[in-house]
Copies of this chain bind each other. A is one copy, B any other.
């Protein structure tokens, strides 16, 4: 091909290929999450990567809208790539509500797309594993989702982690109580400012809040005091919240529910994780209406959240007359993989399986017979794709981390035998009878 016709081989910025070792690790994690969810009564669904633009826009907030990949398809429809699995799931629930048995518990693992600035561990194409429960607004559903995520993380995370539990309704009520002259848009700005507490600290957040119309120094101070106050266990101080919102009946109900939820969660046996109340947690996406949570790795505090979620009681009603409450949690699989890479160096893969080396053209069909026999017996087995120089074939088998090499040539073919070498010990045996091969290789 002439040089000028050649196309540069490169991935798009923010996108990446997965090498075999990374792809194997991701598959191990996603399979575990999947099976654990199925075992816990969740049901798998799949939704398309492409949706109508109007399905996606206006549900995740302004920031999310800006990052959506939008375009016109061949039929002139305005379409977009999903930016999470929650909004398409809400569309799915609205479209199928006649046939779904409620409460409906779903698990979905797949890629989403955001045209945001790529950072360490943050890609424009990223895999998330989601569990959701729709059709019931109960603290049991909240417990079930958070438990599922916590038990999963307990498996994958090599060191300790912390799940911070917040509550969007209580946080809004606290903002209204402290800053009564702030309007709806202003409230969102205050939420966004509070969400930065861990990153930028109290003083900077105070500054950001005071930029919002209708705020007062005194109100902002008292708001910061109540959301950062800790009780004796190091959790947020629910008693202070209760007294601050003493006149608001609805908020008091939410406080009781949150209290009970935390009490059940504290009984949960997770060895590596702590679950802590932190009312400053607001979460980025605009659709949350109740409990919210984020999870951080204790050894990588600046890495950002590896799992998050919350209650979204209004999301399905964007698509349906019926109000269908929901709660969901999400593990950022690709972020988790990147974090694991930071925490532990990738180790050399273990040796395993049998490589069939073929010395001559005539022995090729015999080699295929052997490799298919080994595979049929459930063993990992591969075959040389060019007969010839054995030294080269052994080198290849070694590079590919095979444990043993079976060699066949004209002599083996004539006598229905095989030769075998163990690549770790170097021990070699020649002209063994083929009839005993599979039995001698199966683990005893």
Q: Show the binding face of A for B, using Cβ within 8 Å.
A: 1, 3, 5-13, 15-20, 23-24, 26-27, 31, 34, 36, 38-41, 43-52, 54-55, 58, 67, 69-75, 77, 79, 91-92, 94-96, 101, 103, 105-106, 111, 113, 115, 124-125, 133, 136, 138, 140-141, 143-144, 147, 151, 263-264, 267-269, 314, 317-321, 353, 355, 358, 364-365, 368-369, 371-372, 375-376, 378-387, 396, 399-400
Contact = CB atoms under 8 A, between A and B. Distances in A.
B50 A101 contact: no
Contact of A17 (B6, B39, B47): B47
B381 A41 contact: yes
Given A143-B368, A385-B133, A9 B320 contact: yes
Contact of A380 (B9, B41, B111, B380): B41
Contacts of A268: 372
A352 to B, nearest CB: 10
Question: How many copies of this chain sit in the oligomeric assembly?
Answer: 2
B44 A12 contact: no
Contacts of A318: 1, 5-7
A369 B353 CA distance: 42
A399 B101 contact: yes
Contacts of A74: 67, 69, 115
Contact of A23 (B45, B380, B381): B45
Where chain A touches its partner, the secondary structure class is mixed
A12 B52 contact: yes
B23 A44 contact: yes
Contact of A95 (B10, B43, B115, B380): B10
A52 B381 contact: no
Nearest to A263: B365
13 contacts: A1-B317, A6-B317, A7-B58, A11-B48, A12-B77, A23-B43, A40-B380, A74-B115, A101-B399, A140-B383, A140-B385, A140-B387, A147-B372
Nearest to A115: B74
Contacts of A10: 52, 91, 95
A136 B386 contact: yes
A50 B17 contact: no
A321 B44 CA distance: 45
Contacts of A24: 44
B147 A48 contact: no
A311 to B, nearest CB: 13
Contacts of A46: 17-18, 23, 26
A50 B318 CA distance: 29
A79 B12 contact: yes
